[in-house]
């Protein structure tokens, strides 16, 4: 039987105003109240006003573009969308999340409750931001070159593959000077490098080792249970067998590449996924799936909830 998968974007997808479409006064009460409950619970748990963080009222408020605040704000917004989709009867059959999106995917899989989840991802955001201060670096997306060529470049220049988004859209990470040198070299090899927006650290590489050390025990002791539906992990692109698999994957992905191509292929080829809903702000993953899964249509949660939406 063909299945519908829910996929959850990671850091970089956050944007000012995210989630506000769920909170509009002209929405049905059920939609607005379901979203409000999520934002209220997240704000009460951490002591932040997440509606305020997601809707900055001045250009000086940059919290949404810092790792510390972006990750829990994105997580909260994704769960708000998830709760509304559940009201509409769109129950997930398979789930995956891109990087930080794995935490929301685990909530959808019945493996992690929202309260402990927002505490955990809040600690992740803080740990990664601190690791970025200790080991400053940056990320660029490499366009037009295949994985093997990008790996060769990384080996020569001392940078690392961080995310495999598409066959020829690969993110690399490393120290500032090394990434700038790689950007010039990539151009000489017929590709191009573009800096990632809304990400201020070098994620998914060895520069995040301090964050891994800080998060390891927190993740191992977290109340994460066996997923109730198939949960495909980023690092391996495989099905998580049990809660220990989940925890080890969350630890590894701090310093290892996100294999999004492998994740989507597993969902389509082995989990019988015939369609995707991107649960969160924007449509980054939906755009990738045009190439990663051309035979399985992808839509955004916003377009499901508000059919007249252009998203």
**What confidence tens digit (pLDDT) does each residue in 163-177 have?**
999 999 999 999 999
Catalytic (active site) residue 308: no
**What confidence tens digit (pLDDT) does each residue in 78-119 have?**
999 999 999 999 989 999 999 999 999 999 999 999 999 999
Helix (H) or strand (E) holding 7: strand 3-8
pLDDT above 60 (res 310):
no
Q: How confident is the model over 263-267, as a mean pLDDT?
A: 97
Q: How confident is the model over 212-232, as a mean pLDDT?
A: 98
Active-site option among 13, 99, 200, 298:
99
Q: Quick one: pLDDT at residue 200?
A: 85
Q: How confident is the model at residue 250 (pLDDT cuts 50, 70, 90)?
A: very high
Q: How confident is the model over 54-61, as a mean pLDDT?
A: 90
Catalytic (active site) residue 99: yes
Class of domain 3-134+204-305: alpha beta
CATH superfamily of this structure's domain 138-195: Malonyl-CoA ACP transacylase, ACP-binding (3.30.70.250)
Q: How confident is the model at residue 196 (pLDDT cuts 50, 70, 90)?
A: confident
In the chain, which ranges are continuous DSSP H helix? 29-46, 50-54, 67-87, 101-108, 114-134, 147-157, 176-188, 209-220, 243-252, 260-269, 284-292, 301-305
Active-site option among 13, 111, 204, 298:
204
Q: Quick one: pLDDT at residue 249?
A: 97
Q: How confident is the model over 180-201, as a mean pLDDT?
A: 90
* Percentage of the chain modeled with pLDDT above 90: 93
* Percentage of the chain modeled with pLDDT above 70: 99
pTM, two decimal places = 0.95
Domain boundaries, given as residue ranges, for the chain: 3-134+204-305, 138-195
What are the φ/ψ torsions at residue 148 (nearest 5 degrees)? -65, -40
- The answer to whether the Cα torsion of 26, 29, 33, 35 is positive or negative is negative
Fold: same for 3-134+204-305 and 138-195: no
Instruction: Name the least confident of 54-58, 143-147, 208-212.
Output: 54-58
pLDDT above 90 (res 308):
no
Question: How many Å apart are CA 3 and CA 272, to the nearest integer?
Answer: 6
pLDDT above 90 (res 309):
no
202 near 211, Cβ under 8 Å? no
pLDDT above 80 (res 208):
yes
């Amino acid at each position: 039987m063909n299945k519908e998968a829910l996929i959850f974007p990671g850091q970089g997808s956050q944007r000012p105003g995210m989630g506000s479409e769920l909170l509009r006064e002209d929405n049905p009460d059920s939609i607005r109240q379901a979203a409000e409950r999520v934002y209220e619970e997240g704000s009460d748990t951490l002591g932040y006003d997440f509606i305020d963080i997601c809707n900055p009222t001045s250009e000086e408020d940059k919290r949404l573009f810092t790792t510390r605040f972006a990750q829990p704000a994105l997580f909260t917004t994704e769960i708000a969308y998830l709760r509304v989709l559940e009201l509409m009867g769109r129950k997930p059959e398979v789930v995956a999340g891109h990087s930080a999106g794995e935490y929301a995917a685990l909530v959808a899989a019945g493996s992690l409750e929202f309260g402990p989840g927002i505490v955990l991802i809040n600690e992740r955001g803080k740990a990664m931001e601190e690791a970025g201060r200790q080991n400053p670096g940056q990320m660029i997306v490499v366009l037009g070159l295949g994985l093997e060529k990008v790996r060769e470049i990384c080996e020569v220049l001392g940078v690392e593959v961080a995310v495999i988004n598409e066959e020829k859209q690969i993110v690399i990470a490393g120290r500032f000077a090394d990434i700038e040198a790689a950007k010039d070299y990539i151009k000489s090899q017929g590709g191009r490098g573009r800096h990632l927006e809304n990400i201020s650290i070098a994620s998914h590489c060895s520069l995040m080792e301090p964050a891994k050390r800080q998060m390891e025990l927190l993740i191992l002791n977290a109340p994460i249970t066996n997923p109730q539906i198939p949960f495909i992990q980023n690092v391996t692109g495989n099905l998580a067998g049990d809660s220990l698999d989940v925890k080890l994957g969350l630890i590894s992905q701090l310093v290892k590449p996100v294999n999004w191509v492998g994740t989507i292929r597993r969902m389509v080829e082995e989990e019988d996924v015939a369609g995707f809903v991107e649960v969160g702000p924007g449509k980054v993953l939906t755009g990738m799936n045009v190439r990663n899964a051309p035979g399985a249509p992808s839509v955004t949660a916003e377009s499901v909830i508000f059919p007249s939406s252009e998203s």
